[in-house]
Amino acid sequence: MSQVNQGDVVRVHYTGRLPDGTVFGSSQEHEPLVFVAGEGTMIRGVADAVVGMSVGESKTVTVPPEEGFGQRNPALEQTVPRSQLPDQVKQGDQLQAVQGDQQIAIWVRELGDETAVIDANHPLAGQTLEFDLQLLSFEEAGA
């Protein structure tokens, strides 16, 4: 039975949880994830975990922040006037901000009457994550 090598394109179903069991994402009711094994299109802990798996195999992996969404950077969180945000924004919404010539994703952490806390850290930054992975199929690199 062949196994996934780095550079192969994989199709994987996943369920992602925090250590307390809270599920933050799953592909079970959706399309599977498709990504290149061992490469940067997916968080490193998951991209590396599929290398060596066979079709139909399942595994659970624990991904530390360094191999997931990184450590939280307090400098990426700031308080801004509420008036700078769209009227219909809600706590937890993701917005796009322009910084120089780049667009960056920001999340609304808190909303007050006069101010809001926005955060450019990914919501899962600083978290250890657990993923249940099931390899559905893969295509060998260059095939």
Q: Which CATH class is domain 9-70+124-139?
A: alpha beta
Residues 6+ positions from 11 with CB-CB distance below 8 Å: 32, 33, 34, 135, 136, 137, 138
Cβ atoms of 131 and 28 within 8 Å: the answer is: no
Give the integer Cα–Cα distance in Å for 139 and 124. Answer: 30
pTM comes to 0.81
pLDDT of residue 98: 84
pLDDT of residue 39: 86
Residues 6+ positions from 29 with CB-CB distance below 8 Å: none
Domain layout of the chain by residue ranges: 9-70+124-139, 74-119
Give the integer Cα–Cα distance in Å for 2 and 19. Answer: 32
pLDDT of residue 40: 77
Other C-beta atoms within 10 Å of 42: how many?
A: 20
Output the tens digit of pLDDT for each of the chain's 143 residues: 699 999 999 999 999 999 999 999 999 899 999 999 998 789 999 999 999 999 999 999 999 999 999 999 999 999 999 999 998 999 999 999 888 898 989 999 999 999 999 999 998 999 999 999 999 999 998 76
pLDDT of residue 41: 81
pLDDT of residue 4: 96
The CATH fold assigned to 74-119 is Thrombin, subunit H (2.40.10)
pLDDT of residue 1: 60
